[in-house]
């Protein structure tokens, strides 16, 4: 039925205005947990460049792609290897425990990009003051940021070995039997979360010291790679204590992952220095150092965020 102007003007007096402009909000209000999740989700979107121009998406998506490429390649190799004749090729395909050795650079790169994006812009633009004027306080703010960074890091620490496990299992090249499969799955989950926690804590510590993203990324990279160079020099060059190697932040998280998969550690130095069968660091040292490094990095970040001045 069409509506004519005369119908509107000469109404019977029953017309009602439904749009009353701005209205008071009478709906439910969720608690601080909702605020934490809202900030974490927003930060994840920011880190991944979602809802932002395309140039912000390039680096994070590239890092994620690099982390998944070897897994895709290995699954492809297993699929294409000739039956019975491809044993040597199949031996080359690592299990999920050894997979991290192929994506070390991608994980470190992603961690050093993600954490500065999570913390620095809020401080630089002073939007932190707006966040702290919400139901969040400094601790819950930091919790949301840590959840966000940890979650996006899972994309590269948990996703690729999981994909590899599933891909190999579907082609009968994975663990033998259901219990082995579930055991490996559990190891992947624990290792992925541990790597995410460690790299999350380490990579958040440096951005907490500065409000410049580029400086924070470079600083994090320098800390992670530099610690490896310094500890290597102390242990091998200066023949210092072997346990100092546990402070090599570019290797420690991956050493921990290997122990979770009950694999021996990576060779810890040149064979001529320590011998071909020099024992790796003990698991207790690796676990202790991992906990200590994560705790110290988290404490530094918390101390810095709690001490930030807003609305002075």
Partner 1 sequence: MFGGVTTVVTGVDVAKRWGSTQALNGASFSVGEGVTGLLGANGAGKTTLLGLILGLHRPDVGTLDVLGHDPWLAGSQVRAKLGYAPEHDALPPDVAAHDVVRHLAELHGLPRREATSRASDALWEVGLGEERFRPVGTMSTGQRQRVKLAQAIVHDPELVLLDEPTDGLDPTQREAMLGLIHHVGADLGMHVVLSSHLLEEVERVSNAVVILEAGRVVAGGGMAELSKADPELVVDLDRDDSDQDPASRLAATLAELGAAATASSPTRVVAVLEGPGIYDVVRDALADGGYSVRRLQRRTASLEEIYLASSGRGAAL
Residues that bind partner 1 (CB under 8 A): 21-25, 27-32, 34-35, 38-39, 42, 51-53, 56, 121, 125-127, 129-137, 310-312
Q: Please say whether the beta carbons of 119 and 47 come within 8 A.
A: no
Which is closer to partner 1, CB of 52 or CB of 87?
52
Which is closer to partner 1, CB of 37 or CB of 181?
37
List, in order, residues 6 or more apart from 198 with CB less than 8 Å away. Answer: 252, 253, 256, 290, 293, 294
Which is closer to partner 1, CB of 131 or CB of 199?
131
Which is closer to partner 1, CB of 251 or CB of 304?
304
Tell me the CA end-to-end span of the chain in Å, nearest whole number: 63
Q: How far is the CB of 55 from partner 1 (least distance, A)?
A: 10
Cα(127)–Cα(311) distance, rounded to whole angstroms?
A: 11
Q: How far is the CB of 283 from partner 1 (least distance, A)?
A: 42
Cα(11)–Cα(5) distance, rounded to whole angstroms?
A: 10
The pair phi, psi for residue 146, each rounded to 5°, is -65, -40
Q: How far is the CB of 133 from partner 1 (least distance, A)?
A: 4
Cα(267)–Cα(100) distance, rounded to whole angstroms?
A: 15
Cα(241)–Cα(238) distance, rounded to whole angstroms?
A: 9
Dihedral sign of CA atoms 146, 148, 149, 152 in order: positive
Which is closer to partner 1, CB of 18 or CB of 22?
22
Which is closer to partner 1, CB of 31 or CB of 84?
31
Q: How far is the CB of 162 from partner 1 (least distance, A)?
A: 28
Cα dihedral: 44, 47, 50, 53 (round 10): 160
Q: How far is the CB of 155 from partner 1 (least distance, A)?
A: 22
Q: How far is the CB of 42 from partner 1 (least distance, A)?
A: 5
């Amino acid at each position: 039925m069409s509506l004519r102007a005369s119908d509107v003007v000469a109404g019977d007096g029953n017309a009602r205005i439904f749009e009353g402009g701005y209205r008071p909000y009478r709906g439910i209000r969720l608690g601080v947990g909702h605020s934490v999740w809202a900030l974490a989700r927003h930060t994840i979107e920011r880190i991944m460049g979602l809802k932002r121009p395309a140039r912000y998406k390039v680096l994070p998506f590239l890092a994620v792609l690099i982390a998944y490429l070897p897994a895709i390649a290995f699954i492809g190799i297993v699929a294409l290897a000739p039956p019975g004749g491809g044993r040597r090729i199949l031996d080359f395909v690592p299990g999920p425990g050894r997979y991290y050795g192929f994506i070390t650079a991608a994980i470190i790169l992603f961690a050093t990009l993600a954490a500065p994006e999570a913390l620095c812009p809020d401080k630089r633009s002073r939007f932190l003051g707006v966040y702290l004027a919400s139901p969040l306080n400094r601790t819950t703010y930091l919790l949301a940021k840590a959840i966000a960074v940890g979650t996006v890091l899972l994309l590269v620490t948990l996703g690729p070995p999981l994909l590899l496990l599933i891909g190999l299992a579907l082609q009968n090249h994975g663990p033998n039997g259901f219990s082995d499969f579930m055991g490996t799955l559990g190891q992947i989950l624990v290792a992925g979360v541990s790597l995410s926690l460690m790299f999350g804590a380490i990579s958040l510590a440096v951005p907490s010291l500065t409000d410049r993203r580029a400086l924070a990324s470079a600083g994090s990279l320098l800390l992670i790679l530099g610690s490896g160079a310094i500890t290597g020099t102390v242990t091998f060059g200066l023949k210092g204590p072997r346990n100092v190697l546990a402070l090599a932040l570019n290797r420690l998280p991956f050493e921990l992952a290997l122990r979770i998969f009950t694999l021996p550690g990576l060779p810890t130095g040149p064979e001529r220095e320590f011998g071909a069968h020099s024992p790796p660091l003990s698991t207790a040292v690796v676990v202790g150092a991992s906990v200590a490094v994560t705790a110290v990095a988290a404490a530094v970040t918390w101390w810095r965020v709690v001490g930030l001045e807003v609305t002075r």
